[in-house]
Structure 1
């Protein structure tokens, strides 16, 4: 005779069946009937609901004080796997992550396992509409013409909604202005950047003419000769010949990406070279005017795609770009940007990335353009992020060129050749002037670093509140003590200090001095070789004593320091009459074995943190003794919110990284 299942198992199975039924028949149910369920039952229901169902219920549930965070977090784990760590701790952030990821996939027709399993619920106009109300970033891929074309035709209401909500636009494929189908992409960009609310532009293309089109009128009043030539093209003509004629200057041909097959039938109609010559002559005489039927003019495109709109009020307004990010800088790209910068008065944030080290001549040209911009009282550029610089000394040159910058992020990879910066940037009184810097990030990738340029900037930056330095390498026998001493003396307003990938094991006295009377809220010493102290346990004990004297400290990270068994000392942070106020402790990648974690759990039980502690334990070898590891986790859970990833000791690379 078959043994009867326990009652609680039967109840669990029945409840699961009912919850799945609610999801399946949600549209047929009375909306209020779901909302009137007891709160615990609603919380059990949330992980079973679809994206649209969660979105529909959220406003009413929030009024009852019920968060839908568990539902959105469940979708993220379903998308990325059960081991995905959801670090988004608010309902809105988790929802935005879900909507932004899925909108791009569904809109362009991409698929993954999650989309395939939920295609019935996602391939609807209601999902795109719900996501469009939530997302702030739109990714434009000009290679996928058909989805973009639908957005200007039957999905025009969706474009109207995006226009109201999108704050950031990314162009991820080169816009080939020699193809008529590209007009669709240009029109959508015009709607989002000029009619809409988007003020941030991310450009991941290498075609300078496309960049010139994006910048002209939306901050910069300058147009390159190449772009002005295009303005004379008639609708019945293609501009491919103009692009080709200027390719040796603009480099557009080298930057074009492979086009999707749907664009292969796009006709190309040449026009006469005399039109370019005429453009140049009229430009020089000052009589140049764009033709009324110019194909890539945003104003004309707007009337072409929206013929029924009322344009009696006059020309469309130009939007302003206050945040610009170019992800693949080359010399030709910088030439276009440098010509635009002197009149880019609305620009507040500029980020320039390059997969290769920039040439010094290019950076010098950029510095000159930035200086021209800064000389205008209308300039408002305060954030600058540039990588990869070929010389550390260029950092000070850029700061002197942008005296209003309050946040600077630079990556440096010193080249073994090139001109000497000193020849272009001699020391002057301006070189010692106080800087308004509040945030500074310097990442260095070289065999040996001269830290004098960093200490010089630090001495000039008494208002610094956030400092991140990574990758410093000194000659054998040298110490970073002078760097730490400079921080202690010159940067007393620091709230966040991040020292990464450098040797600090011989600088503990300077670290203690730095912590004395400081106002730090965040301290990160990741991969700083703390295990190389002569007595690691004693050094950690001294560090803990110093940390407990910082009442403002709430975040501490000692990741990638191979603390191993010595990690138990950190429990002393919460001992005694004045326990530390740390709320977030990151000890990931420290080769902490299960027995060592269990010892830490025992000590934390004796020295309970005054408030619930977020403890990051990821990338530690818990699988070497799963029972002991799980016992340690169970003992920690009443005290801590745990971040735990999966470790596979069979993966030799994991072990190698943990030992670095």
Structure 2
């Protein structure tokens, strides 16, 4: 017996040595790609987690042709990046590959170091890796304090920039860009290439920088011309009386848009000129001899006979730090922003009501044009619930609305701009997706239900944090959904008290076609006198929903009643493919009992089971036995748990 074990161990060590040799010499004279592709399928599958990202990328097309997925290789890389306790919630080869390349490209391009980059420096710090990653990614992050990497895109990495122009669909600006400074011209030039010569239609701004926002919006879908930007672009000094202009007191002529550009055939001929101007800018500025009247059009001017430079369009705009000054710039541009399909605005503090009313006015002007294409709107954080209705009426074409509401602690609530009478008939809304997250001591449920009654085409609803006056029940909300929202396919109720609504829940499930249902942190079992019996009723109703694929009961203190949920898969009726039981204080013995019952009723499809934030370390051996059995027919998502954190234990088991 010992000899057999020793032999198996030696065989494993020899296999690992061979795998490392293949990783080191693949595509060289020693190990050809064809030799690897000729290996038996089981051996290739064992080899994948030992390959580099470039090798995985190169082998993937041929392996896919043989029916072999490189998914295990990409997941192995992600586990090394994130750490062993991070759950990888990616289910396809392309998802795992894109996430790997997206993370590594940003780290390597800007020269950031972590344990994985340091360990694999020889394989990652190469032009081949950046090229392979650039072919996969669709999102580019601008980190403007790292000047040299962006500068390289105008010089030795010019071919990489041309590839990014073809691949990148969205850009994120993570730091402020002072467009009045010569040293910022490189970032503006790369932005221009991606936005106007490339395929970018989505822009995410993480900083409060009104003049940069004006530059981004200028001629990219709106006819508005910002006065301060106009002064900069025409080489005039701005009269700086606002925060928008404060950064522009030393403004220069830096028109971000060229009048001319070379054809694709001529583009390479202009590279030396571009390199000279971009590389010399910072040197001239440091020496105090910078020509402050030179504008950015020269950066894209390759020859006197060049064609006119194109202008891109921004279809999706997200401002993650939207202050009053940025909102003023946006509000001025909105009435003619006809190509805008999606708008997301987030403020770290609550928006002022006057700013929201100005936004509603601009949205109303936009909606009155037949050219308007805005269908997705997301605003956070609103100071009053009533502002949601004002925004809805200002944007009658919106089919997806997401709002967060946090009541301010000062001043009276904003009155309705035109109070309704009991007999007034409200127009039907085209809403298909609605998300309302509330942080109020009390919310008028009638306001929510009235919006639902006006939205017969609603397919997705997410409500979080709804608090009702004492004596009121959330049952009315569930009843309304049963009566007037027959198209509902996704329902997500979060941080709400539903323990007294079991009859309404059962009625809703008997008349719905839900594909996704989430009751997260809804205290479902809190007032059930017989928890197992009530949970059995819920399971029986869930089994009758024919299209249900995703079910989440996270943060409901199910704990020792978890074994009842295994009955969800008894018979052949359940279509659930994903079950979220995270944060339910499920202990090892309870998970083992759930596992044994689930083994008797194996799901029809491979089940993704989320068990994160449950105290598996109470009995690690028993927990691991249960996980081992579950993994035979489930994809199990787990992360580490520290039971020494008694407060977490207490909250999870209340």
Q: TM-score, normalised by structure 1?
A: 0.89
- 1:476 alignment counterpart: 470
Indicate the residue corresponding to 1:26 in structure 2. 26
Where structure 2 has 5 or more consecutive residues not aligned to the other structure, the ranges are 250-280
Within 1, Cα distance between the matches of 2:315 and 2:305?
29
Q: How do residues 405-484 of structure 1 correspond to structure 2 at under 5 angstroms?
A: 405-418=398-411, 420-422=413-415, 424-427=417-420, 432-484=426-478
Match of 1:36 in 2: 38
The change in CA–CA distance for 1:351 and 1:159 in structure 2 (over 3 A counts) is same
**Which of 537, 540, 544 pairs up with 2:539?**
544
- Name which of 567, 587, 596 aligns with 1:593: 587
More displaced, 617-626 or 359-368?
Answer: 617-626
Distance 1:191 1:657 in 2: 52
Matched, 1:575 2:570: yes
CA drift of 1:584 comes to 1.2
Given candidates 475, 480, 484, the residue that maps to 1:490 is 484
**1:302 shift after superposition:** 1.5
Q: CA deviation at 1:611?
A: 2.8
**Cα-to-partner distance string for 1:34-84 (whole Å, 9 max, x where unaligned):** 111111111111111111111111111111111111101000001111222
Whether 1:613 aligns to 2:607 is: yes
- The alpha carbon displacement at 1:193 in A equals 0.3
**Corresponding position of 1:295:** 295
Residue equivalent to 2:356: 363
Asked whether 1:80 is paired with 2:82, we answer: yes
For 2:343 and 2:405, the matched residues in 1 are separated by 17
Write out per-residue CA displacement over residues 127-152 of structure 1, whole angstroms, 9 at most, x where no aligned residue: 11111111000001221111111111
Matched-pair contact (CA < 8 Å) for 1:473–1:502: yes
1:394 aligns with 2:396: no
Q: Distance in 1 between matches of 2:582 and 2:330?
A: 41
Residues 223-259 of structure 1 show CA distances to partners (whole Å, capped at 9, x for unaligned) of 11111111221xxxxx8x63x82444546589xxxxx
Q: Distance in 1 between matches of 2:182 and 2:534?
A: 68
1:69 aligned to 2:56?
A: no
Q: Hey, what does 2:635 align to over in structure 1?
A: 641
Q: CA deviation at 1:628?
A: 1.7
Give the CA deviation at 1:108. Answer: 0.8
Structure-2 separation of matches of 1:430 and 1:341: 30
Asked if 2 retains the 8 angstrom alpha-carbon contact of 1:525 and 1:557, the reply is yes
Displacement of 1:218 in angstroms is: 0.5
Compared with structure 1, are the counterparts of its residues 420 and 452 closer, same or farther at alpha carbon in structure 2 (3 Å cutoff)?
Answer: same
**Alpha-carbon distance in 1 for matches of 2:511, 2:179:** 59
| CA–CA distance in structure 1, aligned partners of residues 282 and 448 of structure 2 | 50
Q: 1:654, CA displacement in angstroms?
A: 3.3
2:182–2:282: 8 Å Cα contact kept in structure 1?
no
1:652 aligns with 2:654: no
Indicate yes or no: 2:510 matched with 1:530: no
Residue 333 of structure 1 corresponds to 326
User: Corresponding residue for 2:181?
Assistant: 179
State which of 113, 116, 121 in structure 1 corresponds to 2:115.
113
Q: Is the 8 A contact 2:546 2:573 kept in 1?
A: no
Task: Say if 2:520 and 2:552, in contact at 8 Å, map to a contact too.
Answer: yes
Structure 2 CA distance for aligned equivalents of residues 505 and 593 of structure 1: 23
Does the 8 A contact of 2:494 with 2:522 survive in 1? yes
Is 1:217 equivalent to 2:215 in the alignment? no
Q: Is the 8 A contact 1:178 1:268 kept in 2?
A: no
The one of 162, 169, 191 equivalent to 2:171 is 169
The whole-number CA distance in structure 2 between the counterparts of 1:584 and 1:432 is 39
SS of 1:570's equivalent in the other structure is helix
Q: Is contact 2:240–2:246 with CA below 8 Å preserved after alignment?
A: no
Deviations 1:561-585 (A, max 9, x none): 0011111111121224x53221211
Which SS does the other structure have where 2:27 is aligned? helix
Secondary structure of the corresponding residue to residue 434 of structure 2:
strand
User: 1:269, CA displacement in angstroms?
Assistant: 7.5
Deviates more, 1:371-380 or 1:85-94: 85-94
Q: Give, in whole Å, the separation in 1 of the partners of 2:178 and 2:89.
A: 39
Quote how far apart the aligned CAs of 1:17 are.
0.1
Tell whether the 8 Å contact from 1:55 to 1:130 is kept in structure 2 after alignment.
Answer: yes
Q: 1:584 aligns with which of 570, 578, 586?
A: 578
* CA 423–444 in structure 1, closer or farther in 2 if over 3 Å, else same: closer
**Shift in alpha-carbon separation, 1:249–1:136, aligned structure 2, 3 A:** closer
Which whole-Å CA distance do the structure 1 matches of 2:244 and 2:4 have between them?
Answer: 82
User: Which residue of the partner structure matches residue 348 of structure 1?
Assistant: 341
| Cα-Cα RMSD | 2.4
- Give the match's secondary structure for 1:422: coil
Change (3 A) 1:431 1:371: farther
Residue 8 (1) aligns with residue 11 (2):
no
Distance between the aligned counterparts of 1:60 and 1:117, measured in 2? 28
Farther off after superposition, 30-39 or 604-613: 604-613
Contact 2:240-2:248 at 8 Å conserved across structures:
no
User: Would you say 1:624 and 2:633 are equivalent positions?
Assistant: no
Pairwise CA distance, 1:598: 1.3
State the distance in 2 between where 1:5 and 1:26 align.
31
Alignment of 1:268-347 (within 5 A): 295-296=295-296, 299-303=297-301, 307=302, 312=305, 314-347=307-340
- Distance in 1 (CA, whole Å) between partners of 2:447 and 2:68 is 53
Residue 313 of structure 1 deviates from its aligned partner by: 5.1
Deviates more, 1:244-253 or 1:48-57: 244-253
Q: Number of aligned residue pairs: give it.
A: 617
Structure 1: any 5+ residue segments left out of the alignment?
Answer: 234-238, 255-261, 272-290
1:96 and 2:89 matched: no
1:494, CA displacement in angstroms? Answer: 0.4
